[in-house]
Structure formats: C-alpha cells, structure tokens
Amino acid sequence: MRIWKTEVNLEKIYERCRNTMIDYIGIELVEIGDDYLKGRMPVDHRTKQRIGILHGGASAVLAETLGSIAASLCVDPETKRIVGLEINANHIRPVTAGYVTGIARPLHIGSTTQVWEIHISDDRDKLVCVSRLTIANIDKGKIQGAS
C-alpha cells in the first residue's frame, strides 16, 4: 500500500539536500517503493572512525536522513514539517570499505508522530545497524527559518 502523501521524485528530493551533510558525506537516495526509502553511503575517509571502521555516528546520520526524508513525504508540505524527536542505533558488525545501504520503513504514521525503522547492510547484504527514529509532525509555522 502506497503511504506517500506528496510527490515522490528522488532527483527533486536530492536537489534539496545539496550543500548539506547528506551531500558532504556522499549519501545517495537510490530507490523508493510504495512503503520504503532506500539510500546508500560510502565507507570512506568521511564516514570512518580513527581505527578504520564505519563510524556509528555516520550510520545514525544515514538512518536519520532516510527516516526523515521518508517521514516528510507522509505529511502535507504546505501545512506540516517534520523534526526528529529521538533516534537510536544498534551497531551489529563493523564495515571497513565499500558502501552501506539503508532501508527505512514505517512502524507508525500518525497525525502528530511517526516511528521509522531503518536497517543498514553492507555490500554482502549483512546487517550492520538497526535504527529506530521517532519524528514529530509539527505545524509549518512553528519552525523559524525552515523552508
């Protein structure tokens, strides 16, 4: 069942992400289905910690990026904005090179909150991280400076 309430165009969505952290660390949006958003991120000098493995914070950035973008497609952009309330991440296994791919799927889409689960896997399709993101749907005028 299709969950999106707004236009779904990955190129337009990504265009709004130019010159942000998403762009800087190389996150790419690669696929959108009726009830999920998929993206990937390189494991390189921008996303590794000092011992050479994927930084847990980078995994959280990928998870929050995918969950937040997906959540924004589930509200009327003329009246609502989304903001993150809480994120957690369980890091399962290390990654040293290649890409990690995340898939965000909703657990709950309500009028005031949303909860998304994001599974991040490596190039061998091995689970790297499981994250849960809680979102607040707020009135557009309540975020100053938001476009």
Catalytic center residues: 64
Task: Tell the residue number behind the tokens 């499981």, with chain if given.
Answer: 130
Question: What count of other Cβ atoms lies within 10 Å of the Cβ of residue 88?
Answer: 11
Task: Tell the residue number behind the tokens 């696929």, with chain if given.
Answer: 31
Distance CA 18, CA 122 (A): 25
Distance CA 59, CA 55 (A): 7
- Asked whether the beta carbons of 130 and 124 are under 8 A apart, the reply is no
| Distances 67 to 17, 71, 85 between C-alpha atoms, Å | 14, 6, 12
- Asked whether the beta carbons of 104 and 63 are under 8 A apart, the reply is yes
